[in-house]
Structure formats: structure tokens, C-alpha cells
Amino acid sequence: MSSLTRSLPLVVALLTLLLFPLFGSSFYVGLVTRIIIIAIFAMSLDLLIGYTGLVSFGHAAFFGIGGYALAIAFQDASVIPLWQALPLSLLAAGLAALVIGWISIRTSGIYFIMITLALSQMFFYYFFESPRYGGDDGIFLFLKPVLMIGSEDILNLDNENNFYYFALSSLVLTYLFLVMILQAPFGKVIKAIKANEHRVRALGYSTNGYKLVSFVLAGTLAGLAGFLEGAHTGYINPAYMSWHESGVAIAIVILGGVGTLYGPIVGAFIIVLLQNFLPELTEHWQLLLGGIVISVVLFLPRGATSLFPRLLSLIRTEKGVPLSQEESTKVDTDG
């Protein structure tokens, strides 16, 4: 029953997203597409923070590199083949994550945070001060990737609905991929590393190797989000690599629920929707946004996604249905 209870909201949410373009206007389809892209980015960061215990303040570098790889390689192209552009962005982000990760994992705690921040800012300032790549103005991309077989156009992302479903498919595949990774022996080891790295090392595991693989996987998935962002907006600039973007991603993960995978998706919806609609209420909307985030952190320590099981547990308690030990612990922790 508990497994069904956890799965039901995910199934309902997926069905809603699948049907959304049928009744949503083009503006809102574009907005939800943007949210989906940010959700992939935040989900990749959750692999580090929630499961490996690595708090990276430079994760946005891989997001930006994924977008820049697309823009630089195909800036003057007459067509952008999807089967070439997507692997290129993933490879560029993955290689950058390999280099930064290889250096960073030799540190821990605050030192890890600072070194990931410093190395990512190097990428930021390189593109910011590089006239060859547009400097702070960034690069415009006037074409969207297409999937062609011969002369047949199979998938044209120039259509907003097509891009929406492509982004949604990327989100679902990313989620399933991470679930598979975390259920595998590799996932059990990185969870153990987060819990107690010294014991895992004492058991004979090369913890640095596992952390590096986790770092590269997270960076590559962030590159996927960057590719989608660049292809969707037709524009990429150094701001995508700044530490502010990494900070927003961390806030999204915490807001939705650390170590849940689906929590960052919920957090992305909350943050992006608030950023879009709060300015209509007041010019001091950022104070209001900060208050909402603080309230969620104070009253829902496990994130916004803990609200549903908490309400369900309260309803079952009112009806006299006994809670399992796991459910009772979660209610006590959140309450």
C-alpha cells in the first residue's frame, strides 16, 4: 500500500504533464518546458547532494557548458542534427565534470564547496571575457535541432509542442536512469559514502572513485539540461554558469526535498512559478519569495514533497488506521 501511495502522485503528475499541451496556451507550454529543463538540472544536483553527500556550488558550470557546446559547434550551421548536437553537449559537460571532479573530490566539506565554486567561476569568467564567444552578450542560436533520417524530418523541435514532449521525455528518462543507478550496487555504495565514508573506505571501496563517477554523471545530466535550455531559448550566455544559478539549484533541491529525485521536480515548479507570478503582486516580490522558502524549510524539513504523505498520515490517523513505524518517524521528523 505504501508503495502504491508513493507512486500514485507521480503517475497523476505525469499524466497531467502529458495532457497539458492539449489545453494549455503556447505561453504556458513554453513556461512548463522551462520548468522541466530546470527540474532536470536540479535532479542532477540531487544526485550529488542527496545521495553522495557532495554539496557543489559550481554545478551551473556544466549547465552552461552543455548550452555553449551546442551554440559554438552549430552557430553557423544550416541545420543542427540532433544525433550530433546532443552527444556533443553531453560529452563536453561530462569532460568538464571529469576534470573539475578529479580535482574537487580530494577535498571535503567547506573546502569542496569552495573549490567547485572557484573552478566553475573560471569557466564563467572565461566566457564572460571572451569576445570570440560573445562575451557577456552570449551567443544566439537561430536554429533548433532536428532529427532526420535521410531527407525525412522525423522530429522538428521548432514546434513548441514537439519540444515540450522532447523535454518531458528527457525528464522521464533522466528520472528512470537515476532510479536504476541508485538501485544498483553503485547507488548503494554512494549512499553509504554519504552516511559514513570512513567505514566504506575501511571495507575496501575506493570512495574517491565512486564520488568521481557520481560527479561526472551529475555533470553530464546538467549538460543535458543546458543543451535543452540553449535549444529552447536559442540563446546562451555566461550568466548560466554563475554561482547564482548553482545557488538557485540548491534552493530548488532543498525546497522540493533532498534525496528524493522527484523533490527537485516539485521544487522547480514552485520556484519558477513563484518567480513568474509574484512580481505581479509586488515590486518586493523577492522578499516574499524568500519568506516562502524559509517557511517551507522551517515547517517542512523534508521539503514540500513531504506534505502529501504527512496529510495522508493525518487523515489515516483521524480514521483510526494505524501508521507503520516508517510513516510515524516521518511525521515526527516533519512535525
pLDDT tens by residue, 132-186: 888 888 999 888 888 877 677 788 888 899 999 999 999 999 999 999 999 999 9
Pair 168, 259 in one domain:
yes
Q: Is residue 264 part of a domain?
A: yes
Pair 236, 309 in one domain:
no
Pair 243, 322 in one domain:
no
Pair 50, 112 in one domain:
yes
Pair 86, 140 in one domain:
yes
Pair 108, 246 in one domain:
yes
Residue 124 structural domain: 30-285
Q: Say how far apart CA 92 and CA 68 lie, in whole Å.
A: 9
| Domain count within the chain | 2
Q: Is residue 179 part of a domain?
A: yes
Q: Is residue 115 part of a domain?
A: yes
Q: Is residue 70 part of a domain?
A: yes
- Taking each continuous run of H as one helix and of E as one strand, the counts in the chain are 13, 4
Q: Is residue 13 part of a domain?
A: no
Pair 225, 319 in one domain:
no
Alpha-carbon distances of 100 from 90, 129, 220, rounded to whole Å: 15, 21, 12
pLDDT in tens, 19-59: 999 888 889 999 999 999 999 999 999 999 999 999 999 99
Pair 266, 306 in one domain:
no
Name the residue among 49, 70, 59 with its Cα closest to residue 120: 59
Q: Is residue 1 part of a domain?
A: no
Q: Say how far apart CA 99 and CA 125 lie, in whole Å.
A: 17
Pair 275, 305 in one domain:
no
pLDDT in tens, 98-132: 999 999 998 888 999 999 999 999 999 999 998 88
Inter-residue contact 200 to 192 (CB < 8 Å): yes
- Residue at grid coordinates 500514485: 8
Pair 68, 193 in one domain:
yes
Pair 126, 173 in one domain:
yes
Q: Say how far apart CA 19 and CA 7 lie, in whole Å.
A: 19
Pair 181, 325 in one domain:
no
CATH number at residue 197: 1.10.3470
What confidence category does residue 292 fall into, taking pLDDT thresholds of 50, 70 and 90?
A: confident
Q: Is residue 20 part of a domain?
A: no
Q: Say how far apart CA 133 and CA 293 lie, in whole Å.
A: 36
Q: Is residue 18 part of a domain?
A: no
Whole-number pLDDT of residue 39: 96
